[in-house]
Structure 1
Amino acid sequence: MKKSSKDSVVTAAILLFNSKGYSGTSIRDIADAAKVNTATIAYYFGNKEGLLEYCFTYFFEQYINKMEASFATIEKGAAICLKRVVADLLHYQWENIQLASFVYREMSIDSQMVREIMATYSLKEKYYLQKIFERGFEWNEFRPHSIPYLIIQLKGLLMMPFMNTHYMREVLYVFPNEKFFEQKYLKDLYQWIDKTLCSDIQIKKEAIIK
């Protein structure tokens, strides 16, 4: 299926924002890469700031939708639910690696847009993670931990491979765009849940199920 002009603009913008930086990319650069005229970009997004806002909103809307769908499995158990969340978010970032890399880099810069994102999507993410951890404590699936510090650790594990893909490739010789990476890293994330979070009761329960 042929890409729409709008999709072509978004794809071109993400690639250019990643390679040249947001400030170093012009509307003309994006139009040339997308093979459209600048009026097309103005029609869909207004200006470069509008395009940036679209990229942010699209990324986090889908991200939170994944979390909400995964959280719906909470009654099956907190550990099961958390593993579902981790698997779905890792896969989403892997599928959208260019967008994830750009968004996370821009999120490190203090701006009105970033503050708005944190006041909406980031708080929703915190809500779901906090509920999962609280249920895990309540159901004796997880060992007692500080929830803010657990969120810091989990977010770090989930975001790091996509925040600095250049470092991953050039220093660690790990290629997060490859399918093997997603499969291998998911096992490591599950191990973090099992070893760091899960109580002896939960470990014995899972051993019986297996």
Structure 2
Amino acid sequence: MTRIATLTLRRTAAAAALTLGALLPAFAASSIDGIQPAAPLVVGEAGRADTASALHLLAAAAEAYRADPPRALTAFNDGLAPFQQADLYVFAIHARTGRMLANGGFPGLTGGDVAVLRDARGAAVGEAFLHLPKDAISQVSYHWRNPQTWRIETKRSQVLRVGDTLIAVGSYQSTPLAERKLHPALGQAAALPAGQASALRAHPVSWWGV
């Protein structure tokens, strides 16, 4: 049986009282130039951003995608400001094909099949993303690698569907799991060698993160 018990899928309390329009500033419809999150980034311990900051970055990313999808996906995948801030980054998934369209934190996942992704406890996180409601900002909670601390932590991704594309931004919590290699191709459990973070972010294996 596919293990999904470690995932939670729900409409976030913060989003329940908000429409997307309430989150968005008045962006130009013809260009993604100048698009910024509608509120200042709030960063807590160890450089972790909060859920509200993730929601505002999600709103900016959704508007950028609406304005110019190809440019927006390129910008998301580049992982540069304004679509990467502290430990927040944008990723995008095609809702019908399950293909990762962009991933600012782990670009090696771009082009891959999201349906096969498992989190650090083996839960089918990819399947959770592909079964979200169409009319709400949803949240998926799972255990994944933080590209800033390079530790496995609880991640809560806020997700919005724009047409056939899922746009998402996730914030990390500060309770790490034991550091270990989890992809079968990597063999035995071991600490990640120092100095390899940049190369591994570009490596297309399932556990680097979404």
Output the TM-score relative to the length of structure 2: 0.27
TM-score by length of 1: 0.27
- Which entry has the higher C-alpha Rg, 1 or 2? 1
Name the structure where strand makes up a greater proportion of residues: 2
Larger helix proportion, structure 1 or 2? Answer: 1
